[in-house]
Amino acid sequence: MKKILSIFLFLILFTFTSVFAQEGMWLLNQINKLELEKKGLQISVDDIYSKQNEKALYKAIVSLGGGTASFVSPDGLMLTNHHVGYGGLQRASTKENDYILNGFLARNKSEEILAKGYRAYVLMEMEDVTPIILGAADKENDLAKRQKLINEKIDELIADKVSGKQDVTARVAEMFSGNQYVLFVYKIFRDVRIVYAPPLSIGNYGGEIDNWMWPRHTGDFTYLRVYSAPDGSGADYSTDNVPYKPEVWLKVAKEGIKENDFTFIMGFPGSTTRYATSQMIDWAQNNIYPFIVTNYKEMINIMDNLAEKDPEGKIRVASLKKGLANTMKNFEGKLEGMAKTDFLNTQKVIEDELMKMIMKSKKTAGKYGTIFTDDMKLYKEAAKIKDKDNIYRLLIRFAGTPLALANQIYFTKKEAQKPEEERLDGYTDRNIKGMLSIPDLAYNGYFEPVDKEFLLRTLRLAEKLPADQKFKSLDYLKSEAKNLEEFVDLSFENSKLTTLEGAKEISKMTLEELEASNDPFIKLARKLYDEFYQLAKFRQEFTIKSSDVKRRYISAIMELSSTVFYPDANSTMRFTWGNIIGYTPLANTEYPAFTTFTEMINKDKGVEPFDVPQKLKDLYKSKDYGRWVDPVLNDVPVAFVHQCDITGGNSGSPVMNSKGELIGLAFDGNYEALLSDWKYDYALQRTISVDIRYVLFITEKFANANFLLEEMGVK
């Protein structure tokens, strides 16, 4: 029985994609293999992506570097999620004007406000450069040297595309863990402005309680606009800039949608691990996820305790708190899914069957026979320092802004003084300048009481490390102050790194000046450097070796199967499709495909996160819904679920119907399928999207911004 089960699971691995094509975050140059016309697509695949089609829809899709947007007018107007625009709202907010809480509307273009730090990336071209990249390293067997040769060729290709161009950036993305490489070239715009964002009580209705949950009633949308120089080039913010004229923008669907309708999404999904080994799963399930869930929960509590009653502090930590809470709940869902499905042991069975197939032939045995034993050795080595490595990650990211910048400045200066071939990966002459440039937004989330508590907490955790994993470099703290609390207080009192001006001044110091500096955070960074370097070097070597194992693992699967595969998500543009359909998470519990405005009103409790604005209550009472009523629901639809395959980074992605018209914005996945970054579940996995009819209803009836509808051609 066990043998029959394991063979069945193995067959699933190789046939799932072809049987259930809803699975997959497909590269644009793969979608012609999906037979989409048979699935319900009414336009040509070339209308979605084609190098020859100047009006292909992909040109309307925009990366915001962590989220997705789409052009919806000829004047650079974009739609994305409220939570994608959240950072821009936070950076523009003050105690007097809290745009997160109250929303924001520009009645004309002169009132639109800069979304500080936002960049819009529009895809110009993509090219498979696998032969070029692998050809540069095909004779090198040493993994580290091979990776350096690959990196050098990648840098060469990128330099060729961006040289002398201020508004062009490029990236060579690794697919299938190094079995394929694709070059992406983007036009970059640095002037993105906020046009309209609904208040928090609409844009984040349900808050963290409803996050990742269905049924959902969140109006998760925001309007932004891209500006360019008068000649159409990307430029920094300027009053001389004009609304950008995109080549393509999406048209809003003239007809509504219903259950079983065909939908598709294009966006920039961030990261998935669909081709994970059992060692990777074990590491995430029993180390990374539990550590992050525990620590993020404690950090959120710190922010609640120290900033919640301070209006300015609450605004400053808002983005970080929202991000941590979102990740924490996501990882909790993943852990729950792993346990419920016995995911780790299932993968081990699949690997056993795969290895039996590999060993049937001398050719495949020679190429792939050691992949799982090699993987096990790597993770056994990593386990020896895992506790120290976890604290290292906190020290460089979540021990307060001053220490994070001190580490960044000092570490970069140390690497910069080495010959380039001896530096850690990434510390190229081209990158170092950017690493030493302190952005004006570096202290946007800085709130000293929270930053101090983060540092104190992390140092206390470092003290509790096992004896063989302690940071010996921290022993000097005993001579600096009578206890850690005093050390933290003195550090913040005596450091220039508590201000943006001070950080910029320190970033310009030479390495010799940094070595002699008495700034307490620079001194702490100096003390930590040797151990940080060893950890960073171990991580680099581990990544190279682990990637090679995964590359061979994926290569083995591909060689032994005729199935068409899609690569894991890696923030490059992808396509996914699926039908609108509800789901049954539990026996006798059936979830509908749509939610409605009436349901939203009925959830109102008068307090956040279920606090319906009075104007919406008045609209409900008067039934002033205008043209946005669905004839089947007899109500304004708020959100819907469908079988598209998305992950983080897809937030804000446009959802289109079979004609390529805009019908919604993807904003979430459902809790029951949070394991989807690792494994697609056809029965349970759903994308949650806000219905464009609700977006337009709120825009017209609540915000009285009919001029935006007119700009989008909605008549």
pLDDT at 21: 56
What average pLDDT does the segment 145-164 reach?
94
278 catalytic per annotation: no
Give the pLDDT band of residue 429 (cuts 50, 70, 90).
confident
Least Cα distance to 200 among 664, 609, 659, 624 occurs for 609
Give the number of residues written for the chain: 715
Q: State pLDDT tens for residues 462-490.
A: 999 999 999 999 999 999 999 999 999 99
Judged against a pLDDT cut of 90, whether residue 50 lies above it is answered with yes
What average pLDDT does the segment 281-294 reach?
98
Q: Name the pTM for this structure.
A: 0.94
Give the pLDDT band of residue 563 (cuts 50, 70, 90).
confident
651 catalytic per annotation: yes
Is residue 183 within 8 Å of residue 133, measured between CB atoms?
no
Token pair 């729950």: residue: 336
Judged against a pLDDT cut of 50, whether residue 671 lies above it is answered with yes
Give the pLDDT band of residue 16 (cuts 50, 70, 90).
very low
Could you please state the CATH topology (level 3) that the domain comprising 33-123+198-273+575-711 is classified under.
Thrombin, subunit H (2.40.10)
Distance separating alpha carbons of residues 248 and 76, to the nearest angstrom: 10
Least Cα distance to 291 among 326, 343, 334, 328 occurs for 328
pLDDT at 196: 98
DSSP letters of 90-104?
HHH--SS--HHHH-E
What average pLDDT does the segment 196-222 reach?
97
DSSP letters of 607-662?
BTTB---HHHHHHHHHT--TT--BTTTTB-EEEEEE-----TT-TTPEEE-TTS-E
Judged against a pLDDT cut of 50, whether residue 382 lies above it is answered with yes
Question: pLDDT over 70 for what percent of the chain?
Answer: 97
Judged against a pLDDT cut of 70, whether residue 300 lies above it is answered with yes
217 catalytic per annotation: no
What sign for the dihedral angle of Cα 22, 26, 32, 37?
A: positive
* Catalytic residue from among 220, 519, 548, 677: 220
Q: CB-based contacts of 280: which residues, under 8 Å, 6+ apart?
A: 273, 375, 550
* Catalytic residue from among 6, 228, 278, 651: 651
Beta pairing, strands 191-197 & 113-114: antiparallel
Q: State pLDDT tens for residues 489-516.
A: 999 999 999 999 999 999 999 999 999 9
212: left (phi over 0), alpha (psi -120 to 50) or beta: left
Sorted by where each begins, the domain ranges of the chain are 33-123+198-273+575-711, 124-189, 398-528
* Catalytic residue from among 63, 70, 83, 387: 83
